Amino acid sequence: MMSLSANTQDPLTSSVKESLRRQTRWRALEIAFWIAAVAAWFLLPGKHLILTEIAIFALLALSIDLIIGFAGIVTLGQAAMYGVGAYASGLFSIYVTGEPLTGLLVAAFAGAAVALPTSFLLLRGADLTRLMVTLGVAAVLLEIANQATWLTGGADGLQGITIQPLFGTIDFDLYGHVGYAYSLSVLFVLFVLARYIVASPFGNSLKAIRDNPLRASAVGIPVKGRLVAIYTLAGAYAAVAGALFSQTQQFVSLDALSFQKSADGLMVLVIGGTGYLYGGLIGALVYELIQDALSSVTPQYWQFWLGILLVAFVMTGRDRPRQIVERLTAKVPAMRKTSTPAKASEGGKS
């Protein structure tokens, strides 16, 4: 009987493994996306400063997408972990060491330490309650940073941050050449980690919780534990983004904890779409380029035109970029299938 049950489970187990393996495969458009990001370092040497900002902003949006797009947790306080990571990395470089990679680890632990207790508060309410809780946590941390002038510099910002050369040999320059390569590398590593997480059984359980928490709980998924885990992970991601900002700018202001930072992250997801990881990256790219272009054309009214464009994005559908990517991705295998029989028929004729 045991051998019979094992044999009946083997096809199901193999199909599940194949499905998970299929989700982790890299598609041609994904590879092209990252090749273009690397090529920008060579082709756009005068734009490395804004490209660094885009990479950092994309990591912040990625952390928000992990919460909203895959877990269904609505938040307005991701700036809390972003700011904590920025200040933690900056203070660590001032009082301990300016080694950048160690500063990233310190920031990640600091962000996770803030997100973990906050996550238990999120489990006690609905979407509106969660919005207010996350917004309140960020507001409290902002006021603490404002009042603790002896530690954070208050309204004047945290100054005196010095970052040592990367790997002891590569100095950070004023033009952002090293900063962009460094930020893009960190973004790619964390993106790959997030990609495998969301394609794992853990990630699929998060999608089940997002779609129907009651049904997910009924089939045995630990809903609270999963939400606490992903919120803590997203907090660490946001803190690393803040650390990248403090290390590349060597300055941290109260804006890192402001509501505007969280609102900008949500606007990026409105542009790029949620639930497929690339939404935050594409949205950050579009948002920063539009903002840079409009501010150079109309320095006084660029926010007005940016608002008009955001309304247009919402009216056309926030999932439009995702649909375009999915259609293009679906066309690649179809083109391969149509070309293969053609080659076979030519071989038969010859």
Mean pLDDT of 281-287: 89
pLDDT at 113 over 80: yes
Mean pLDDT of 325-350: 52
**pLDDT confidence bin for 346, thresholds 50/70/90:** very low
Enumerate the domain spans of the chain.
26-339
pLDDT at 71 over 80: yes
Q: Which CATH architecture has domain 26-339?
A: Orthogonal Bundle (1.10)
What is the predicted pLDDT for the residue at 14?
Answer: 66
Do residues 141 and 12 lie in contact, with contact meaning Cβ atoms separated by under 8 Å?
no
**pLDDT confidence bin for 35, thresholds 50/70/90:** very high
pLDDT at 226 over 80: yes
- Within 10 angstroms of residue 136's Cβ, the number of other Cβ atoms is 15
Q: Provide CB contacts within 8 A for 35, sequence distance 6+.
A: none
Do residues 20 and 201 lie in contact, with contact meaning Cβ atoms separated by under 8 Å?
yes
What is the predicted pLDDT for the residue at 331?
Answer: 57
Mean pLDDT of 223-243: 92
Tokens read off for 250 = 């060597």
Q: Provide CB contacts within 8 A for 226, sequence distance 6+.
A: 71, 202, 205, 206, 209
Task: Tell which wins on pLDDT, 338 or 245.
Answer: 245
Mean pLDDT of 110-125: 86
Q: Please state the separation of Cα 213 from the chain's center in Å.
A: 24
Do residues 220 and 237 lie in contact, with contact meaning Cβ atoms separated by under 8 Å?
no
Residue of 78, 25, 128 lying closest to 257 (CA atoms): 78
Residue of 285, 275, 58 lying closest to 188 (CA atoms): 58
User: What are the beta bridge partners of residue 170?
Assistant: 166
Q: What percent of the chain has pLDDT over 90?
A: 30
Residue of 280, 277, 264 lying closest to 206 (CA atoms): 277
Mean pLDDT of 234-254: 92
Q: Is 166 helix (H, G, I), strand (E, B) or coil?
A: strand
Whole-angstrom Cα Rg for the chain: 22
Dist CA 336 CA 341 (whole Å): 9
Dist CA 143 CA 95 (whole Å): 23
In 217-319 the beta strands, taken as DSSP E runs, fall at: none
What is the predicted pLDDT for the residue at 336?
Answer: 52
Q: Has this prediction a pTM greater than 0.85?
A: no
80-84, 161-165, 339-343, range with the lowest pLDDT: 339-343
262-266, 282-286, 299-303, range with the lowest pLDDT: 299-303
What is the predicted pLDDT for the residue at 23?
Answer: 67
Q: What percent of the chain has pLDDT over 70?
A: 82
Q: Is 159 helix (H, G, I), strand (E, B) or coil?
A: coil
Task: Tell which wins on pLDDT, 27 or 24.
Answer: 27
Backbone phi and psi for residue 105, each to the nearest 5 degrees, phi listed first: -65, -40
Q: Is 129 helix (H, G, I), strand (E, B) or coil?
A: helix
Alpha-carbon distances, residue 341 vs 28, 328, 329, 349 (angstroms): 21, 21, 20, 12
Do residues 229 and 73 lie in contact, with contact meaning Cβ atoms separated by under 8 Å?
no
What is the predicted pLDDT for the residue at 322?
Answer: 55
Dist CA 270 CA 289 (whole Å): 15
Q: Average pLDDT over the chain, rounded to whole?
A: 82
